Structure 1
Amino acid sequence: MQIIESSTVYDVIIVGSGAGGGMATKVLSEAGLKVAVVEAGPYFDPAAPEQQTQLKWPYESPRRGANTVRPFGEFDSAYGGWEIEGEPYTHKNGTKFDWFRSQMLGGRTNHWGRISLRFGERDFKHKSYDGLGDDWPIGYEDVKPYYDKVDKLIGVFGSKENMPNEPDGFYLPAPKPRLHELFYINGAKKSNIPVIPSRMSMLTKKINKDRGVCFYCGQCSRGCSVYADFSAGTCLIFPAQKNGGQIDLFVNCMVREVTTNEEGKATGVSYINKEDRKEYRLKGKIVVLAASACSSARILLNSKSKQHPNGLGNSGDTVGKYLHDSTGASRSAFVPGLMNRKKYNEDGVGGMHVYTPWWLDNKKLDFPRGYHIEVWGGMGMPSYGFGFNPNDFNRFFNQSVGGYGNSLRADVQKYYGSVVGFGGRGESIPMKDNYCEIDPTTVDEFGIPVLRFHYKWSDFERKQAKHMNETFEELFHNMGAEPLQSRPSKEQDYGLLTPGRIIHEVGTTRMGNDPKTSVVNSYQQLHDADNVFIVDGGPFVSQADKNPTWTILALSWRTSDFIVEQLKKQNI
């Protein structure tokens, strides 16, 4: 097969344009480096009329906005999902893992919930506290300056709370709680469960001339046409282009491997152009992988050569190992006090205005790591997957919500907005036996070998989910609410969602000082090739009970500064 080589030699080739790739693009291009960004999906700009879905009504779609084309609804701005035609993945020994991929400029940052939390001091050193897993080779003090810079560059609302292991940052004004959230606050108080304003990256005030301010349409998952919420394209790559950065975008290009020379150093990447199905090769002095934890592992494992027979970076047989996702369990309930109520100002950001950070001491519990609680409800536009299921009401009240005309309208007005839901999002223990590897017999439609997953929850995660459900029911009781589902049993893993469903997978190219047990060093630099870096969630040693995006951004900025410094010293 003929491979078409580019004559241009880039200073840096960045694979992936999400949180890590977007930040690296901005920092490195603005440092004067010539950058190529290779993205598996198409160009995306939520302000472009042909791509904008914000403020569209369900009736504007022949599917009424249903999820027949995208997992979170037709108007959701994630191109991809857990299953992509022509791009399969497989499972080993009957285990389960659902892999979400968002192939587009900006990656998953177009869709995510914008929950923007810092890891705390303990989150980097958990082994020192409970003896499980491994400590990171860096601590909070190493990342804090970059958290600070990310807060100020991107913008995050919240409040300073001075809570242990829940570091404060630089915050924009937080929106006020809505009525269902006030019910939650009152219920939590009765059990001494803390509730604080959410920390989310939507602009509640103007921070620069390029981005607008949130106008409370509640549709952040569709991509913001005024760039008020954070996504890597609108807030990192587009500004870098405006600032004169030398950036060449290669979209709809699926990277096959990192190419290397006789010395084992990277020379660039090869990719398949999805439009003409031909293979191309880009040349670069440095390669930065930011394709997502699993995709970057796949690229490394497929990058075999005489110098790297087990795959690039895999001399210690660690690439793909220690894969882990956040735990997740959810419940919902009917709140009679919210039924038939007056209508208040129910507008807000696309997500929660308040949440509960982890508040207990795990040493007094039968599971080692914590979780936070996310809250949903209110009176947003009815849509698929939001609101209430009439069958749940029938089961509890033997009352039908249905009919047609005025009787249906009356039922909906009576009940709508009276349902609240909680989602627990917790930390799992990284285990070497949870991993992704190359399937020996399966390739995708581009001829690239695919990933095979092996993943099992442990009793640590099951006991955590059991505690989540007990907490949810206590909160429901405090709110005078009726649960809409029965408590999941031990046989149901206490309601734990399938691994991968929270879309927080990390750990496949873990950070460490020992090349025999880790893939990258403390600056996310490959032990086996010093001109390859990884800036997605792969280097995470552990997940924490927080969402990973803010840490990916901070670490990517830190790594990018290190690359610039090392280039000046001519070390790489």
Structure 2
Amino acid sequence: MQIKESPDTFDAIIVGSGAGGGMATKILSEAGLNIAVVEAGPFFDPKDPKTQTQLKWPYESPRRGASTTRAFGDYDAAYGGWEIEGEPYTRKPGTKFDWFRSRMLGGRTNHWGRISLRFGPLDFKRKDHDGLGENWPISYDDVKPYYDKVDKLIGVFGSKENIPNEPDGFFLPAPKPRLHEMYYIKGARKANIPVIPSRLSILTKRINNERGVCFYCSQCSRSCSVYGDFSSGSCLIFPAQKNGGQITLFNDSMVREVVTDDAGKARGVIFINKKDRKEYQLNAKVVVLAASACSSARILLNSKSKHHKDGLGNSSGVVGKYLHDSTGANRMAFIPELMNRKTYNEDGVGGMHVYTPWWGNDKKLKFPRGYHIEVWGGLGMPAYGFGFNPNYLNKYVGEEVGGYGDQLRDDVKKFYGSVIGVAGRGESIPMESNYCEIDPDVVDEWGIPVLRFNYKWSEHEINQAEHMQDSFEEIFDGMGAKVLGSRPTAENKFGLEAPGRIIHEVGTTRMGNDPKTSVTNKYNQLHDVKNVFIVDAGPFVSQADKNPTWTILALSWRACDYIVKELKSQNL
């Protein structure tokens, strides 16, 4: 096929526009570089009334808000899901890995939970503590200045707690706990389990003139029309454009590979324009991959040449390996004291106001690492079946529930706001045997070879899920709640979600000091090709029990500072 090559040469091409790509766009463009951003999905601005879904009722949707077309509901901001028509992926026998992709400017940052946690000192050096996996080639002190910058630039609410492995930051005021969260606090404290205010990147106080303040509509998954929460487009890319950055957006553009010259150095990328279905080539001095851990690995593995026969940056054979996702298990309960409760507006932010950080670092347990606990419930948008399951209430509470008309309305009012849910989100152990690779027999609709996954949970993760269930039951007992549903057993891995379902996949291009066992160095730079950098979660050596976004942002900023310095020194 004929490839149309652009006559322009950019200073940098950034593939992907989520957390890592958005931060790279802002830092590099504001340093004076001419930037091309290549995004696989369409342009998206939550302020645009044509695409805005905020403040709409389920009855305004032809599907009543159901998740038939979008994985998290008809009004969720994510364009994509675990399955995308024309973009398949495959699995080896025994694998249940599910891969979530969000095709739009800003990527997954348009609909995520905004849980914005720093990794702690212990998280970068876990091998020293339990002998498993590898240590990062950097420490918390290396990343701390960038965490500080991210806090101040984007905004995160929280509280200073002085917990050793839960580093404090620069916090905006945290919202007060809602009633169901006060019950959670009561139950957790009876179980000697800590509870602190959440740390979410949602503005509870104005930080600049470009962004509004959260008005407690509780719909952050729809992406905020006043830019009150963090999304990459609204908080990084659009401000960079307004600040005069030279940024060219290539939307609906699916990158196939990184192109190299006769010496094996990166020249640019080839992508397929989804609208005209033709191939184009962009050239640049530096290529920055931020397509997500698995997508960036896919691009590298598909970028074969005489200098890179096993894929770009893959002389170690490590690209795609050590893939791991957060563990996840959950439980629901009914609080009898909240039956027939008074109703009022308590929406709050689009997420939990309190959470439990991991409390077991110094305890002897059946598993390594740890998990945090997230909480949901309260007087949110009622839905038949979500926190109001007649079968559960009939069986486990002993109440006759259901029917139609007035009977159903009365029951909804009776139990509305009385159900609470908790979820554990924990750290898994990176293993070489968990990986993604190129499927030799399958391509997507753009003709690009797809990924094939191999993944299995180990006993470490299964034992961790059992501990989660024990903790959930202790907390529910302490708040006087009745557990809904039977307890998960060893047969179903104690309710452990399939890998990929928590959407925290990391580690496919991990960093390290040794080029034989790692893909990038400590500045997210390929060992094999000095002008290619990866600023998504691929370089993560381990996950920690925290959500990865704040660390992606900090490491992307750090890598971009290094890129600017190296360009000025003419080393790239």
TM-score interval, normalised by the smaller of the two chains: over 0.9
Give deviations 1:205-226, integer Å, cap 9, x for gaps: 1000000000000000001000
State the one-letter code of the partner of 1:163: I
Instruction: Name the counterpart of 1:94.
Output: 94
SS at match of 1:430: coil
How far off its partner does 1:363 sit?
4.8
State the one-letter code of the partner of 2:246: Q
- 1-structure distance, mates of 2:4, 2:401: 62
Instruction: Name the counterpart of 2:371.
Output: 371
Instruction: Name the counterpart of 1:243.
Output: 243
Instruction: Name the counterpart of 1:74.
Output: 74
How far off its partner does 1:493 sit?
0.7
Instruction: Name the counterpart of 1:516.
Output: 516
Instruction: Name the counterpart of 2:41.
Output: 41
Q: Determine whether 1:502 maps to 2:508.
A: no
Contact 1:65 1:383 in 2 (8 A): no
Instruction: Name the counterpart of 1:225.
Output: 225
How far off its partner does 1:341 sit?
1.3
Instruction: Name the counterpart of 2:290.
Output: 290
SS at match of 1:457: coil
How far off its partner does 1:397 sit?
3.5
- 2-structure distance, mates of 1:554, 1:60: 39
Instruction: Name the counterpart of 2:468.
Output: 468
How far off its partner does 1:382 sit?
1.7
Moved more, 376-385 or 53-62: 376-385
Q: Are the structure 2 counterparts of residues 340 and 385 from structure 1 closer, same or farther at C-alpha, using a change threshold of 3 Å? A: closer
SS at match of 1:329: strand
SS at match of 2:282: strand
How far off its partner does 1:189 sit?
1.0
Instruction: Name the counterpart of 1:59.
Output: 59
- 2-structure distance, mates of 1:149, 1:116: 13
Contact 1:73 1:384 in 2 (8 A): no
Give deviations 1:217-270, integer Å, cap 9, x for gaps: 000000100000000000000000000000000000000000000111100000
Q: Are the structure 2 counterparts of residues 362 and 328 from structure 1 closer, same or farther at C-alpha, using a change threshold of 3 Å? A: farther
State the one-letter code of the partner of 1:498: A
Instruction: Name the counterpart of 1:455.
Output: 455
Instruction: Name the counterpart of 2:355.
Output: 355
- 2-structure distance, mates of 1:501, 1:61: 26
State the one-letter code of the partner of 1:475: I
Contact 1:65 1:384 in 2 (8 A): no
**Where does 1:146-545 land on structure 2 (aligned, <5 Å)?**
146-361=146-361, 363-383=363-383, 386-545=386-545
- 1-structure distance, mates of 2:407, 2:457: 47
- 2-structure distance, mates of 1:10, 1:384: 52
How far off its partner does 1:389 sit?
1.3
Figure out how many residues of one structure are paired with residues of the other and give that number: 572
- 1-structure distance, mates of 2:449, 2:362: 41
Give deviations 1:30-56, integer Å, cap 9, x for gaps: 000000000000000011011000000
Percent of aligned positions that are identical: 76
SS at match of 2:360: coil
- 1-structure distance, mates of 2:281, 2:412: 57
State the one-letter code of the partner of 1:395: K
State the one-letter code of the partner of 1:24: A
Give deviations 1:288-341, integer Å, cap 9, x for gaps: 000000000000000000000000000010000000000000000111011111
Contact 2:345 2:379 in 1 (8 A): no
- 2-structure distance, mates of 1:431, 1:384: 41
How far off its partner does 1:385 sit?
6.7
Moved segments of 4+, more than 6 Å:
none
Moved more, 254-263 or 93-102: 93-102
- 2-structure distance, mates of 1:107, 1:400: 44
**Where does 1:24-39 land on structure 2 (aligned, <5 Å)?**
24-39=24-39
How far off its partner does 1:164 sit?
1.7
State the one-letter code of the partner of 1:114: R
- 2-structure distance, mates of 1:361, 1:253: 45
SS at match of 1:451: strand
Return the TM-score normalized by structure 2: 0.99
- 1-structure distance, mates of 2:307, 2:397: 68
SS at match of 2:328: strand
- 2-structure distance, mates of 1:328, 1:398: 29
Give deviations 1:452-479, integer Å, cap 9, x for gaps: 0000000000000000001101111111
Moved more, 379-388 or 146-155: 379-388
Contact 2:155 2:202 in 1 (8 A): yes
How far off its partner does 1:198 sit?
0.1
- 1-structure distance, mates of 2:18, 2:64: 29
- 1-structure distance, mates of 2:415, 2:383: 15
Contact 2:344 2:379 in 1 (8 A): no
How far off its partner does 1:185 sit?
0.4
- 2-structure distance, mates of 1:397, 1:422: 18
Moved more, 212-221 or 335-344: 335-344
Contact 2:361 2:369 in 1 (8 A): no
State the one-letter code of the partner of 2:295: S
State the one-letter code of the partner of 1:487: R
Give deviations 1:370-413, integer Å, cap 9, x for gaps: 00000000011124774321211111234332233333222111
Return the TM-score normalized by structure 1: 0.99
Contact 2:437 2:451 in 1 (8 A): yes
How far off its partner does 1:72 sit?
0.3
- 1-structure distance, mates of 2:143, 2:386: 37
- 2-structure distance, mates of 1:64, 1:527: 51
State the one-letter code of the partner of 1:239: P
- 1-structure distance, mates of 2:141, 2:498: 34
- 2-structure distance, mates of 1:385, 1:304: 49
- 1-structure distance, mates of 2:391, 2:560: 52
State the one-letter code of the partner of 1:436: C
Contact 1:179 1:378 in 2 (8 A): yes
Q: Are the structure 2 counterparts of residues 243 and 134 from structure 1 closer, same or farther at C-alpha, using a change threshold of 3 Å? A: same
Contact 1:269 1:283 in 2 (8 A): yes
SS at match of 1:408: helix
Structure 1 alignment gaps of length 5 or more = none
Q: Please, what is the CA RMSD of the aligned residues?
A: 0.9
SS at match of 1:551: helix
State the one-letter code of the partner of 2:340: N
Q: Are the structure 2 counterparts of residues 274 and 267 from structure 1 closer, same or farther at C-alpha, using a change threshold of 3 Å? A: same
Structure 2 alignment gaps of length 5 or more = none
Give deviations 1:390-441, integer Å, cap 9, x for gaps: 2111112343322333332221111011000000000000000000000010
Instruction: Name the counterpart of 1:546.
Output: 546
Contact 2:125 2:139 in 1 (8 A): yes
SS at match of 2:524: coil
State the one-letter code of the partner of 1:116: S
Contact 1:67 1:384 in 2 (8 A): no
